[in-house]
Amino acid sequence: MITSCHPRHAFSKVQARRPEACGKCHLGPDHPQKEIYEESKHGNAFFSHVDEMNLKADRWVAGQDYSAAPTCATCHMSATTVRGATHDVGQRLSWTLRPAESALQEDWEKKRNNMKEVCMSCHGPRFVEGHYAQMDGVINLYDQKFAKPAGQIMKMITDKGLLKNKASFANDIEWVYYELWHHEGRRARHGAAMMGPDYTWWHGLYEVSQHFYFKFIPAARAYNDPEVNAYIDKMFKEDPMHQWMSRPTEEIKADIRSGKMQQFYKDMYTPKRKPE
């Protein structure tokens, strides 16, 4: 069967193993995995050492048949020293990062261990655990600080019939909210998952923050609904993640230097399941 992974003519395993194959679908503003990979040190290593990748080999086990770099296929599909190859690309993913709010898979611990086996082909346990702590931290920060309140505000506006135009995406706030999670929020999360700091920050959380505070919130307040405004007012007044807007910058810096802010955020560096 001809697929995007195995294109016609050659039907080549070399093509399927190279990251360009995945770029048929996994690129662009809403899921730039190809671009993130190219930015990451994994991508840097692949393109620098492609001649050492043994791409034509029938057996292709990370850490044994090659160790110069991983590709998309390495992490998501190919065999390891303890596990066979798979075409189920979700078998090693502990989070689903597609929706507005991230969700842990039902069997996330098993799937995470599957991926860790791949990581351990080249990296030690300290490096692997550190990566997952950073990834979980970014995902939880995005979810708790932005996705949950934005989703709740949008639900209130929709349920109360405040949208002027009834067609989907016929109101400015719908576009702002959609791009907040579907574009910027995904970029931040995918960047953290694949070690792409520029996508995590400048193409991700930087834009999420800017558009949440200075586009989405003003658009929500423009409806002048008492319940919506009360929710926003309470968030800014009582939620430590949003109180920064009314605090002096020097005071915030002092909290960083003293470790107070780190103490508040420390629990985000572990996976969290949404309440049922």
Rg (CA), the chain: 21
Sign of the CA dihedral running 55, 57, 63, 68: negative
- What amino acid is encoded at 86 in this protein? T
Residue 141 phi, psi dihedral angles, 5° rounding: -60, -50
Q: What is the band of 276 on the pLDDT scale with cuts at 50, 70, 90? A: very low
Q: What is the band of 9 on the pLDDT scale with cuts at 50, 70, 90? A: low
> Residue 216's closest CA among 172, 162, 176?
176
Tell me 205's DSSP state.
Answer: I
Q: Which pLDDT belongs to residue 272?
A: 78
Q: What is the band of 6 on the pLDDT scale with cuts at 50, 70, 90? A: low
- Asked if the model's pLDDT at residue 164 lies above 80, the reply is yes
Residues 125 and 214: their CA atoms lie apart, in Å, by: 41
Chain segment 32-65, per-residue pLDDT in tens: 999 999 999 999 999 999 999 999 999 999 999 9
Tell me 146's DSSP state.
Answer: I
Tell me 49's DSSP state.
Answer: S
Chain segment 106-133, per-residue pLDDT in tens: 999 999 999 999 999 999 999 999 999 9
Q: Which long-range contacts (CB under 8 A, 24 or more apart) does 150-153 make?
A: 150/100, 150/177, 150/180, 150/181, 150/212, 150/216, 151/100, 151/101, 151/181, 152/231, 153/216, 153/220, 153/228, 153/231, 153/232
Chain segment 174-214, per-residue pLDDT in tens: 999 999 999 999 999 999 999 999 999 999 999 999 999 99
Model pTM?
0.94
